[in-house]
Amino acid sequence: MAVKSRIVKGFISLPYNWSMGPTTTRFYEEFKNKRIMGTRCEKCNRVLIPARSFCSGCFVETTNWVQVSDEGTIRTWVLINFSYEGQPMAPPYITGIIDLDGADVGLPHFVGGVELDDLETVAKKVRIGGRVKAVWKENREGHILDIDYFKPIN
């Protein structure tokens, strides 16, 4: 006789503190002045964002800081229309990977400033390869959400 498995529902809450270290701390502090800073690898020449203290491809320390644009191109995007635990905002909303001008690593963030009622209109305004610009909060605290979202600009 086969034994049927039981499922027990539970909930885990795990508050934590995370030390960002000096490189990530500076990356976010620069947001207060609307600057997105990366670090350049001297070996492969890639500009990494968020700024990193070493290149994960070359395993060399990165000490050269460079400012990248707050404009870029949408590499990919998705419209989130369902709820899940820990969600950053109530759906619907769009997240995407933004290839900022001057950076060689995509930045995951929100794409916004677009009415989400009509999917055909969304697909016309938010598209892979489309240009976007950061919409900064007026009061910035040195946090990834100092950028409200990236707005399509073409």
Tokens of 107: 């930045």
| CB-based contacts of 54, cutoff 8 Å, min separation 6 | 60, 61, 62
Backbone angles phi, psi at 149, to 5 degrees: -175, 175
Binding of Zn ion at residue 111 (CB under 5 A)? no
Give the whole-angstrom CA distance, residue 152 versus residue 125. 7
Which of residues 41 and 122 has its CB atom nearest to Zn ion in the complex?
41
Whole-angstrom distance between the N-terminal and C-terminal Cα of the chain? 64
Residue among 58, 66, 79, 80 that touches Zn ion (CB under 5 A): 58
The dihedral region occupied by 77, where left means phi > 0, alpha psi between -120 and 50, and beta the remainder, is beta
Residue among 20, 25, 33, 57 that touches Zn ion (CB under 5 A): 57
Q: Which range touches Zn ion (CB under 5 A), out of 57-65, 74-82, 118-126, 135-143?
A: 57-65
Binding of Zn ion at residue 44 (CB under 5 A)? yes
Binding of Zn ion at residue 134 (CB under 5 A)? no
Binding of Zn ion at residue 63 (CB under 5 A)? no
Minimum Å distance from CB 46 to Zn ion? 5
Contacts with Zn ion: how many residues (CB under 5 A)?
A: 6
Residue numbers of the site for Zn ion (CB under 5 A)?
A: 41, 43-44, 55, 57-58
